Amino acid sequence: MNYNIALIKGDGIGPEIVDGAVAVLQKIGEKYGHTFNFTEYLAGGCAIDATGKPLPEETVEGCKNSDSVLLGAVGGPKWDTLPGNIRPEKALLGLRAALGVYTNLRPAKIYPALKSACTLRPDIIDRGFDMVIVRELTGGIYFGERGRREGKYGPEAYDTEAYSVMEIERIARMAFEAARKRRGSVISIDKANVLETSRLWRETVHRIGEQYPDVTCEDMLVDNAAMQLVRDPSRFDVVVTSNMFGDILSDEASQITGSIGLLASASLGDSKCGLYEPIHGSAPDIAGQDKANPIATILSAAMMLRYAFDLNDEANCIEAAIDKVLADGIRTADIVGDSGATPIGCKAMTEEIIKRL
């Protein structure tokens, strides 16, 4: 089969890690007889430099006309002082909205070989940890009305969160469906003791949950969830939560896996074409030095094969190669922990993974 993939390398370490994922996909193509055609588009800081806009029209059109989109990372100190509407991050939000990818799946699990890179006590880790965060991605406070105005105490700024019943229903369904294929448990995270959007969230999730009697559904307040996640991460299977809470909790979850450099994500809507990206940022401090960990982006490419193209064997092959590389003690700098391994670079890590495909 032939697949057209839009590539958005972005800024910072983005180009290095996307190159790693492309090399892996090419090898998978050879092995299984597929052709992946890659077309590069600009977004983020590099797009601002080249065109004055973080998300050029051409990029949106190109992505919409592709079978799938693989994205590295956007942003960096160079563009940090620009006004909010022309910041690199705006490209990411604009693309998520333009592609209608309202569901963001962020799996996080512990690799036994990486226990030493994890910040939790070994006895906690030994209980196991394998969860997926189902983050709402195109609504909530990220997309609500915001601005500056004159307030009671002088100039002030505001951001608003709104969620419609429809938006909560569709993300809840995604979570219950995901739980059916896993351990059958959904924990819905909100702040229903304070926020009206959370109260609507809670009642809507439960109403959808009634259609899934085989899945258990529990509510958890977000502050408590932040605590439970480090106290006993083994109790989490599927977590469903709002855009903002999902952003925060997924970074927290990444530390339990050992490094944010390991966490992949798939952003899906109603069409099969989705957006696949690591959850980490552009790491400008190590950009261009061949130090980045490409694993999160390579795992995002595996999620693309599975969700966009139904290529399960191919996705499993990539995941198994990564399990193997980690079991063999091969480490980039972020996952060395106290293993005593000599860290290798982004290119060498990519090669080691390709060898094991």
Q: Give the active site residues.
A: 142, 191, 223, 247, 251
CB of 255 to Mg ion, least distance (A): 13
First-last CA distance in the chain: 19
List CB contacts of 142: < 8 A, sequence separation 6 or more: 93, 243, 244
Nearest residue by C-beta to ligand IPM?
89
Question: Taking contact as CB under 5 A, which single stretch among the options 37-45, 113-121, 245-253, 254-262 is the one that binds Mg ion?
Answer: 245-253
Question: Is residue 43 at the binding interface for ligand IPM, with CB under 6 A as the rule?
Answer: no
Question: Is residue 92 at the binding interface for ligand IPM, with CB under 6 A as the rule?
Answer: yes
CB of 292 to ligand IPM, least distance (A): 16
Using the minimum distance from each CB to ligand IPM, give the nearer residue, 175 or 279: 279
Question: Is residue 136 at the binding interface for ligand IPM, with CB under 6 A as the rule?
Answer: no
Question: Is residue 314 at the binding interface for Mg ion, with CB under 5 A as the rule?
Answer: no
Question: Is residue 247 at the binding interface for Mg ion, with CB under 5 A as the rule?
Answer: yes
Question: Taking contact as CB under 5 A, which single stretch among the options 120-128, 143-151, 246-254, 290-298 is the one that binds Mg ion?
Answer: 246-254
Of residues 100-119, those binding ligand IPM (CB under 6 A): none
Q: What are phi and psi of 189, to 5 degrees?
A: -110, 130
Question: Is residue 19 at the binding interface for ligand IPM, with CB under 6 A as the rule?
Answer: no
Three-class SS state of 109:
strand
Q: What is the token pair recorded at 296?
A: 């999160």
CA distance 299 to 244: 23
Query: Judging by DSSP bridges, how do beta strands 275-278 and 68-73 pair with one another?
Result: parallel
Using the minimum distance from each CB to ligand IPM, give the nearer residue, 92 or 134: 92
CA distance 36 to 33: 10
Question: Is residue 8 at the binding interface for ligand IPM, with CB under 6 A as the rule?
Answer: no
CB of 252 to Mg ion, least distance (A): 10
Question: Is residue 136 at the binding interface for Mg ion, with CB under 5 A as the rule?
Answer: no
Q: What is the token pair recorded at 172?
A: 């809840």
Q: What is the token pair recorded at 70?
A: 């693989």
Q: What is the token pair recorded at 95?
A: 């693309």
CB of 155 to ligand IPM, least distance (A): 25
CB of 340 to ligand IPM, least distance (A): 32
Question: Taking contact as CB under 5 A, which single stretch among the options 168-176, 198-206, 242-250, 293-301 is the one that binds Mg ion?
Answer: 242-250
* CB-CB contact of 102 with 240 (8 Å): no
Please state at what angle helix 243-257 crosses helix 222-231, rounded to 10 degrees.
10
* CB-CB contact of 66 with 37 (8 Å): no
Question: Is residue 279 at the binding interface for ligand IPM, with CB under 6 A as the rule?
Answer: yes
- Residue among 266, 300, 280, 275 at smallest CA distance from 20: 300
CB of 247 to Mg ion, least distance (A): 4
CA distance 98 to 169: 20
Q: Which spans of this chain sit near ligand IPM (rule: CB under 6 A)?
A: 89, 92, 247, 279, 281
Q: Which spans of this chain sit near Mg ion (rule: CB under 5 A)?
A: 247
